[in-house]
Structure 1
Amino acid sequence: MTKTKVAIVDDHAILRQGLKVLLGEMQQMDIVIEAANGQEFIDHLQHITPDLAIVDINMPVMKGDEAIRRAKLMCPHLKVVVLSMNREEQFFKTMNELGVDGYIIKEADYDELERAITTVMKGGKYFSQELLLSMVNNRQPTTLVILTEREKEILRYLCLGLSTAEIADKLLIGVRTVEKHRSEMLLRTGSPNAISLVVFAIKNGLVEI
C-alpha cells in the first residue's frame, strides 16, 4: 500500500518531534518534510509534493496562513490540517477561506489527531470537537431555517467530518442524493461551502453534536 507523504510545519522543534513520534505509530505515514516556518515549507514544495501537511499558524519568517495559501496554489490536491490554540470563530472562518481540510486544537490527543488525518485523507472535513463545543456555547442565532429530518441527518454527519460517500453508506442512500440535499442546504442557508454550512448549523442549533 502506498504511504501517505506528510509535511510537518511548526516552529517548535519539540512539537515537530512529538508529531513525528505520533505519526510513526500510525500505519502508512511517511514524513517527507519538516519545516520550522512557512518559507521553509514552501521551499521544500519546490522539490517534493506531500499528500498531507500539518501546519501551525503562528510562525516566524512566513506565517502559516500565507504558507497554506501558497501551498494550495502550488499543490491543489494537498490536504491541510491546522494545529492551533485559537478557538475564535473568525479565525476558523479564515482557515475555511484558505481551503483548510482539518482544524484541531493543539491540546488534542493522539486519537483525535488520528481521526482528523483519517477523515481528511478520505475526502472529509474534520473540526476539533472542542472548537465545535466552543461555537455552540457562544452561538448567536442568525436566521431561521427549517430542515427536514433527512437533511438534519446529513448535516449531523457533515459536522462529524464524514465524506459524501460515507454519509451515503451510513444512511443507505445514493451519493447523488446526499449531494442534492447538501446543495439545497447550502443554497437555503447562504453558505458557500460545507464548512460554512457546519458553522451555520452550529450557530443556529440545527444539529446536536
Structure 2
Amino acid sequence: MNKPNYHIMLVDDHTLFRNGLRILLNNLNEYTVSGEAANGQEFLDLLETQTPDLVLLDIDMPVMDGIEAASRAIKKNPDLKIITLSMYGEEDYYYKMVDAGVKGFLLKDSDIQEVKQALETVAEGGTYFSSELLQNLVSSLRSKSQHHEKQNVLSERETEILILICQGFSNQEIADQLFISKRTVDKHRSNILEKSESKNTAQLVMYAIKNQLVEI
C-alpha cells in the first residue's frame, strides 16, 4: 500500500535553509513542499489559498514572527499541524509556541531522519519534541524552579496516565496497559487537561517536565 503524500509548507526567512530543506523533503516519496514563505505575514497570506497538511515554521522572522503567525493561523484553522523550527537558546519561546497550539519542535540542525520522524508523528496526530531540545528544556525549567516546591495537582492514577501520555501512548494503548477501559482513560485525560490548565498534549508534556514527573 502506498503511503499518503503530505503537502508541506516551509516558513523561514533564510532562503538557503529553505532551499536545502525543500530538496531533502522532496526526495522523500511521501512528502511534497507545496508552499514557501519568508515571514509570518507571507505564511498567513498563503493560507488564504492553500491548506497544507504540515507546516515547518521558524520562530525568529522579520515582519511577523512565528509565535504571532502560529497563533493567528491556528485560531483560524484549529486543525493546522505546525512544527516549530528552533535553535538553541530559544527555550523561553517554547511555552508561547505551545500556547499557540503547535504540535512539535525540531532543532534546525536535526538530521533528515529526525525531521522525517517528527513529520510522521505529527501527521498521524501526535506531538513531537526533539530529544536534544527536551534536554535543554528540562535543564532550563529545573534551574528556574529549583527554589520552588513542585505543584503537581494530579492524583496518583492521573499522574500515571500523564507519564504514559508523555511517552507517546494513545488512549487505547494506555487503557490496555492499565487494564481499564478507553472511556475511563478519556475521562482521566480530560481531568488532567483541566487540572493542569493545559489545552493540548504539548502543554501536558511541559507540565510534566516542570513538575519533574518525567525523566528525559
How would you bin the TM-score normalised by the shorter chain?
Answer: 0.7 to 0.9
Contact 2:154 2:192 in 1 (8 A): no
Instruction: Return the match for 2:190 from 167, 175, 183.
Output: 183
Contact 1:49 1:75 in 2 (8 A): no
Instruction: Return the match for 2:212 from 201, 205, 208.
Output: 205
Partner of 1:57: 59
Partner of 2:47: 45
- Structure 2 alignment gaps of length 5 or more: none
Equivalent residue runs for 1:1-209 within 5 Å: 2-138=4-140, 139=142, 140=145, 141-145=149-153, 147-148=155-156, 151-165=158-172, 167-168=174-175, 174-209=181-216
- Structure 1 alignment gaps of length 5 or more: none
Counterparts of 1:171 and 1:53 in 2: how far apart (Å)? Answer: 35
Moved more, 94-103 or 25-34: 25-34
1:97, distance to aligned residue in structure 2 (A): 1.1
1:96, distance to aligned residue in structure 2 (A): 0.9
Q: What SS is found at the alignment partner of 1:78? A: coil
Change (3 A) 1:42 1:90: same
Counterparts of 2:99 and 2:154 in 1: how far apart (Å)? Answer: 26
1:72, distance to aligned residue in structure 2 (A): 1.8
Contact 1:124 1:162 in 2 (8 A): no
Q: What SS is found at the alignment partner of 1:143? A: coil
Moved more, 81-90 or 168-177: 168-177
Matched residue count: 208
1:89, distance to aligned residue in structure 2 (A): 4.4
Question: Structure 1 counterpart of 2:98, which letter?
Answer: N
Counterparts of 1:94 and 1:168 in 2: how far apart (Å)? Answer: 31
Offset from partner CA, 1:96-152 (integer Å, 9 cap, x none)? 11111111221222222112111111111111212222232241253145653x645
Counterparts of 2:205 and 2:51 in 1: how far apart (Å)? Answer: 30
TM-score by length of 1: 0.84
Contact 1:4 1:52 in 2 (8 A): yes
TM-score by length of 2: 0.81
Identity %: 47
